[in-house]
A and B are shown apart, each in its own frame.
Chain A
Amino acid sequence: MLVFIIRRLLAGIVLLLAVSFVAFTMLYIGGGDIARRLLGENAAPEVVAQKAAELGLDRPFFVQYLDWLGGAVRGDLGASWFTSQAVVVDLSSRLPVTLSIVVGAVLLAAVVSVVLGVLAATRGGWIDGLVQFISVIGFSIPNFLIALMLVIVFAINLGWFNATGYVTFAISPAGWVASVTLPIIALSLATIATVTQQIRGSVLDAMTRDYVRTLQTRGLNSRTIVLQHVLRNAGGPALAVLAVQFIGLLGGAIVIEQIFALPGIGQLTVQATTLGDIPVVMGVVMITAIIAVIVNLAIDLAQAALNPKVRLS
């Protein structure tokens, strides 16, 4: 098991190196003359050269990359070209906001999907119909449109929530809940749609297994069979889907944060993208890749906890 974890960790590190190299190449070479782009078409060549030297862009590419990598390993992702703020500081102050809505959405989706998926598989009927309806809506309508609808109905018309703004948990827990509720719902709907279908399918599949029939003949009641045996065996595939969803939600949060004016990674990314603030964009790419690696590792561990075959081999 320890070997398994170490191997996954090493694979994750290799993946991070690959991502960093590809992203760095694209960002620093793909765009041509960065200093020229920053200063505009009319800037004098000597000013552009001076700017390039100031940002270290006149050095050979590999020196730049290794310099960046050396800093990154020590936890220094450089500084913004516009605010001179350290990228790590910027990211760490914004990460909690993004993570709170992403993790919130994952948890909400997990709970709702298990309940709906199991009910749809075991009861069928109108619950199954409802699940199919939610799936189509959640899967097709983009999350920012859902967010807009939620804002219009619950914030503007009903006034139940503030349309925009963020309150930290430390200042007011109730305010925090009010500020993240709509974003979490908007973000989670697509995940609920996907994971519910997955759970419905794997529960239906697990119910046809021989051991379920044998457990029935042993006199176990159907609640125990479904909640303990079927769900545990159906959990693996659903977890794998949830992992993929987590990465997707990280991207979804970028858009959702704009609608609710939440000061998360998304806002930072959009600003940096518009300005051409490459160190910040690079930092965002790396932090999402790191989160992806951590999430995948966590899911692998959860799979091992669920499935003794994985754990013992």
Chain B
Amino acid sequence: MTAVDVPTTVPAPLARVSLTRRLIRRPIALAALIFLGIIVLVALVGPFFAPYGPNEGSISDILAPPSPEHLLGADSSGRDVFSRLLYATRISVLAAALATVTSLVIGVVAGLLAGYYRGWFDTTASWFTSLIMALPGIVVLLAARTVFGPSVWLAMVIFGIILSPAYYRLVYATVSGVRNELFIDAARVSGLSDTRIIGRHILSVVRAPIIIQSAIIAGIAIAIQSGLEFLGLGDLTVPTWGAMLNDAFINIYSAPWLMLPPSLAISLTCIALTLLANGMRDVLERSVTVRRRARRAVTTKTGSVAAVTTSFSLSGGDSAVTDLEPEPLLDAGPIIHRDDAHSTSDNSEPLLRITDLRVGYEQAEGPDVEVVHGVSLDVRKGEIHGLIGESGSGKTQTAFAVLGVLPRGGRVTAGEITFDGLRLTGSAREGRSYRAVRGTRIAYIPQEPMSNLDPSFKIGFQLVQPLRQTLGLSKKDATAKALALLDRVGIPNPKRTFDAYPFEVSGGMAQRVLIAGAVSTEPDLIIADEPTTALDVTVQAEVLDLIRDLQRERGMAVLLVTHNFGVVADLCDRVTVMQQGRFVEQGPVRTILGHPEHPYTRSLLDAILDEGPAREELDEIEGAQR
């Protein structure tokens, strides 16, 4: 690849920087981590510094306010609140750890086994999960408490079991996804035992999500454990945050300050755990998206021409072309053929004029990535203008820019789009300009028919609603018009399709519906983005015929985005060739097909011609079989 400025300057993943390192660069996550560190430290050594025992009370100190002797005051039994807080921290942290470890061990082991071996283990585990999900955790804990008495530790073990489906589902999903991956097969073939495979390859995949889940579960364990103690259902001899809160709540009118230490301990610990989990998730998600984007960029870089050739093979023939070298870009601007200016009889002002259009995408880090590098184009009234190029060349981005529907993060960074004298982009009233023309004078036919119909609404509604909103038709008139259109685009039973949901019709029918929707407001310009790519070969020709007929009948202009020279030759008056965000050649279809000047155009055309022999061979074989 010799191109200098391919739009793939996505920052490389911050590889090999450990999760922890990236985590502590975030101030909130760092603060949470430090706070949790302090809590753990207090749990470990706090009790050694406690001035009093946890249950050591004196009658004279009952509900004593904070003083040098009792830093945080004394509770209703005259016990020192500060000392109790230190002891309670130890118990609460241990209890949360017990619940987390219990559910971690059960959930991860069960998830690994069920995901790796499947079978009856899988069935049993999912049954157990739905059983546990049917009851609120606290109800189970209360029932257990009825039978087994008020033990913090037992309650936490049971709670750990209740929470284990969270780990189970996480591990199960990952393992099921990974177990058939090639590297696992490779490991198995090379003779690694199942335990080694699980330990080395699978656990390393789920490690990070498990840490996040653990932070969340520890928070829930602290909440539910203090909840139980707060209800007075715990062991009264064990100091916990919840038990302190219980005592404080009873004396809320006489000694309100007692509320503060346990409330703060519980809420700050829980908030810190949540923030830590959020921070870890953000770091993980970011590295995943960066990696994914980079990979996508690489495929366009190397597989771009391959994409064009496969599409040719789709239109019949063998994709024998493999050695297509992409040509270097000429920065001299597009080659515009001399006969382009008078290729149509109508020489008036163009309907759509694109001048030096640039489209860029915002990046989370670094400058915008530009995908369309200053292109200019005129579409005249009533002409069909082809825009051809490989996938990733920016032709769809150009089309979206004209329609004002660039995906999130994308925007027109420079240049101008003018429609019939009305400036669409770059003006302060951009939104208003688009509202004036979009859906009424400019329409759109998408590439993939199924995903472009809302699956939750009937087809009829999706035709009627825009008609009512843009043209102000009554429901009755809009319905009649929609039915007539469905009939016009060749749908055999319009009424039935009108009442159907999108998933109930075929792809070809859905594309006809979308064409009906596009022409329903009698637009002057239709932008068709590869309208036949997703369809069967037999349906492709019918849809192209339909577009041509409608175009002639209504005198509309069409900007036809495609990667298929066959379609261009069949349908278009003029054509623009696009490569890597630039226009390289523009002119009447006849001229371009007959005398292509730009090397890239020539290589694209050669790709079709090279397929000739391969196709004949195929016919011969078929003939011989017959």
In the assembled complex, which residues on chain B have CB atoms less than 8 Å from the CB atom of A19? 131, 134-135
B136 neighbours in A (Cβ, 8 Å) = 247-248, 250-252, 254, 288
Query: Which of A211, A217, A259, A307 has the largest count of B CB atoms less than 10 A from its CB?
Result: A217
Q: Tell me the B218-234 residues at the A interface (CB within 8 Å).
A: 219, 222-224, 226-227, 230-233
Instruction: Answer whether residue B249 sits at the interface, using C-beta atoms and an 8 A cutoff.
Output: yes
Contact A140 B147 (CB under 8 A): no
Docked-complex contact A233 and B147, CB < 8 angstroms: no
A255 & B138 in contact (Cβ 8 Å cutoff): yes
In the assembled complex, which residues on chain A have CB atoms less than 8 Å from the CB atom of B452?
A: 210-211, 213-214
User: Closest Cβ of chain B: how far from A252's Cβ, in Å?
Assistant: 8
Distance in angstroms from A223 CB to nearest chain B CB is 10
Q: Is the interface of A mostly helix, strand, loop or mixed?
A: helix
Q: Report whether A308 and B501 are in contact in the complex, using a CB–CB cutoff of 8 Å.
A: yes
B226 in complex: contacting residue of A139, A142, A221, A292, CB < 8 Å? A142
When chains A and B are docked, how far (Å) is the Cα of A139 from the Cα of B133?
A: 19
Evaluate contact between A142 and B405: CB separation under 8 angstroms.
no
A258 close to chain B: CB less than 8 A: yes
User: Which of B271, B438, B462 touches A141 (beta carbons < 8 Å)?
Assistant: B271
Query: Does the CB pair A140–B139 fall under 8 Å?
Result: no
Least Cβ distance of A269 to chain B in Å? Answer: 6
In the complex, per-residue mask of B263-291: 1 if CB is within 8 Å of any chain A CB, else 0? 10011001101110010000000000000
Query: With a CB–CB cut-off of 8 A, which chain A residues contact B405?
Result: 213, 216-217
Q: Which of A62-70, A112-120, A173-181, A271-279 contacts B (4 or more CB under 8 A)?
A: A271-279
At the interface, yes or no: A281 with Cβ under 8 Å from chain B? yes
- Establish whether residues A148 and B267, one from each chain, have CB atoms under 8 Å apart when the complex forms: no
Q: Could you tell me if A142 and B454 are in contact, using CB atoms closer than 8 angstroms?
A: no
In the bound complex, do residue B407 and residue A152 qualify as a contact, i.e. CB atoms below 8 Å apart? Answer: no
The answer to whether A22 touches B131 (Cβ under 8 A) is yes
Judge if B142 is at the interface, Cβ distance under 8 Å.
yes
Q: A1 on the interface (CB 8 Å rule)?
A: no
A108 within 8 A of B: no
- Name the residue among A23, A211, A308 with the largest chain B CB count within 10 angstroms: A211
Query: Is A270 part of the contact surface with B, judged by Cβ < 8 Å?
Result: yes
Other-chain residue from A151, A218, A278 in contact with B146 (beta carbon distance below 8 A): A278
Contact A220 B439 (CB under 8 A): yes
Residues from chain A with a CB closer than 8 A to the CB of B263 are 145, 148-149
Interface-side segment among B186-194, B202-210, B465-473: B465-473
Chain B stretch 398-444: residues in CB contact (< 8 A) with chain A: 400, 403, 405, 407-408, 435, 438-440, 442-444
Question: Of A219, A255, A306, which one neighbours B231 at CB under 8 angstroms?
Answer: A255
Q: With A211-B454, A219-B438, A229-B454 as known contacts, state yes or no: A31 contacts B274, CB within 8 Å.
A: no
Q: Which of A255, A289, A306 is within 8 Å of B456, CB to CB?
A: A306
Within 8 A of B (CB), among A195-223: 207-211, 213-221
* B51 CB within 8 Å of chain A: no
Quick check: B231 and A258 within 8 Å, CB to CB? yes
**Chain B's nearest CB lies how many Å from the CB of A80?**
13
- State the Cβ distance, A189 to closest chain B Cβ, in Å: 12
CB of A210 within 8 A of CB of B451, answer yes
Contacts of B267 in A (CB 8 A): 140-142, 145
Q: Which residues of B contact A140 (CB under 8 A)?
A: 219, 267, 270-271, 273-275
A31–B148 touching, CB < 8 Å: yes
Interface residues on A, range: 35 or more
Chain B nearest CB from A191 CB (Å) reads 13
Q: Per a CB cutoff under 8 Å, which of A18, A208, A273 touches B145?
A: A273
A152-B259, A219-B469, A248-B136 as given contacts; A312 in contact with B501, CB under 8 Å: yes
In the complex, whether B105 has a CB less than 8 A from a CB of chain A is: no
Task: Say if the beta carbon of A284 comes within 8 Å of chain B.
Answer: yes
On whether A136 and B438 interact (CB within 8 A), knowing A142-B223, A274-B233, the answer reads no
Contact present for A15 and B144 (CB under 8 Å): no
Cβ–Cβ contact A219 & B135, under 8 A? no
Q: B521 in the interface, Cβ–Cβ < 8 Å?
A: yes
Is A85 an interface residue when CB atoms closer than 8 A count as contact? Answer: no
Q: Distance (Å) between the CB of B155 and the closest chain A CB?
A: 12
Query: CB of B324 within 8 A of chain A?
Result: no
**Cα distance A92–B142 when bound, in Å?**
20
Residues of chain A contacted by B347 (CB below 8 angstroms): none
Mask of A138-173 contacts with B, CB within 8 angstroms, 1/0: 011110110011011000100000000000000000
Query: B146, A27: Cβ atoms under 8 Å?
Result: yes
A269 to B133 alpha-carbon distance, docked (Å) = 20
Closest chain A residue to B457, Cβ basis: A229
Chain B residues with CB below 8 A from A277, complex form: 146
Taking Cβ atoms with an 8 Å cutoff, the residues of A that contact B are 15, 18-19, 22-23, 26-27, 30-31, 136-137, 139-142, 144-145, 148-149, 151-152, 156, 207-211, 213-221, 224, 229, 232-233, 244, 247-248, 250-252, 254-255, 258-259, 269-270, 272-274, 276-278, 281, 284-285, 288-289, 292-293, 306-309, 312
Q: Assuming A142-B222, A211-B454, A269-B142, what are 12 further A-B pairs, CB within 8 angstroms?
A: A30-B147, A31-B148, A142-B224, A207-B408, A213-B446, A215-B462, A216-B405, A250-B139, A274-B232, A281-B146, A284-B139, A308-B458
- Residue contacts A-B, CB under 8 angstroms, 9 given: A30-B144, A30-B148, A142-B224, A145-B263, A148-B245, A152-B259, A247-B134, A254-B139, A307-B455
Q: Which residues of B contact A (CB under 8 A)?
A: 130-131, 133-140, 142-148, 219, 222-224, 226-227, 230-233, 245, 249, 252-253, 256, 259, 263, 266-267, 270-271, 273-275, 278, 400, 403, 405, 407-408, 435, 438-440, 442-444, 446, 448, 451-458, 462, 465-466, 469-470, 501, 503-504, 514, 517, 521
